[in-house]
Amino acid sequence: MINYSLLGFKKFEDFSNFFFKTLLPSNKTYEYFVDWNKVKKSLDKYINEISLMNSLAKLPKDQRAKHLYRILEDYPSTAQIIPILIAERLKKGKIEVFDTDLDKFLTLTFNTQNLNKELIVKFCEKTGILSLFEKISDLYDYLLGVEVGMDTNARKNRSGAIFEKMVAYKLNKIIDKRYKIIEHDPNLSLYPILLNKKLKKAKNHDIVIYLDKKPIAIIECSFYNTQGSKPISIAESYPKMHRIAKELKINFIWVTDGPAWNSMKEPLLRAMKEMEWVLNFKMIDKIPKILKSINT
């Protein structure tokens, strides 16, 4: 069970009530909204192709299709940016589209080999891409906006990494310098033991804390905005991880937060009754006390 007395509570109910009462409503840091490095990197690798396609904006409407054909013929790599113009992420460099006139699906390939230039030009006409050049003056600026829009789809994937950074940042501020904090330590993983099988590349733990070159604590971080099967699965597996770590004389600390836990209290409460350390972000300041207790 949670070592609630060391954390400053008189009974388990006091601890659990405080935990749920102090859950963060969100983990939206400044990094949450747009990954600008990723956006810029995505565009800069096509800077030459963007410059070539920009020439379409300088031509009369009736000349754009022929000019695009010539661009594709002389510089086939420009085909790669066409899907980005309509905010489409490609799977294996292809787009399938149903042509109502032909009453069948057409497969368009946008890699530099086997380009069907006529089909791509037709695609650009039908989707309005050629008409786009009547409305924009700089393709790079337009694509920057497109990439920002597509990047918002990655926010869910960033959420966990952002919370992990929040935890690590706070730990580095409050933990004594004699402890060494390593994020995603490649030299320590309990997952092969947990899963009872050899892994070519075992998952790393979010944070490992060392003292005198010995691992003394493993910290896993997770934030959940919405309820679902994943947090429940984690809550069911981490008690076993806790027992494995304890056998190795390593403390396992689960730092988890987010409004979703208010709707999924039962699996988390069960985990709390089987684990010694389950904290939310508000309670991270208790970790120095936990580390101190390990050495006494």
Domain boundaries in the chain? 12-32+154-294, 36-153
Q: Using the predicted structure, report yes or no on whether residue 166 has a pLDDT greater than 70.
A: yes
What's residue 294's pLDDT?
Answer: 72
Report the percentage of the chain scoring pLDDT > 90. Answer: 75
Q: Exposure pattern of 78-114 as b/e (b: 16+ CB <10 Å)?
A: bbbbbbbbeeeeeeeeebeeeeeeeeeeeebbbeeee
Mean pLDDT over each residue of the chain, to the nearest integer: 91
User: How many H-runs (helices) and E-runs (strands) does the chain carry?
Assistant: 14, 7
> Which residues, including other chains, have CB under 8 Å from residue 43's CB and lie 6 or more apart?
50, 140, 143, 144, 147
Phi, psi dihedrals of residue 183, rounded to the nearest 5°: -90, 130
Alpha-carbon dihedral 238, 243, 249, 254, rounded to 10 degrees:
20
Q: What is the pLDDT of residues 178-223, one digit of tens each?
A: 999 999 999 999 988 888 777 677 789 999 999 999 999 999 999 9
Sheet holding 278-279, edge to edge: 179-183, 207-211, 214-223, 251-257, 278-279
Q: Hey, CA dihedral for 241, 242, 244, 249, is it positive or negative? A: positive
What's residue 247's pLDDT?
Answer: 93
What's residue 83's pLDDT?
Answer: 93
The pTM of the full predicted model, rounded to 2 decimals, is 0.77
State the residue for tokens 């992990």: 164
Mean pLDDT of all residues in 82-90: 90
What's residue 155's pLDDT?
Answer: 75
Domain 12-32+154-294 has CATH 3.30.1490: no
Q: How confident is the model at residue 271 (pLDDT cuts 50, 70, 90)?
A: very high
Mean pLDDT of all residues in 70-96: 91
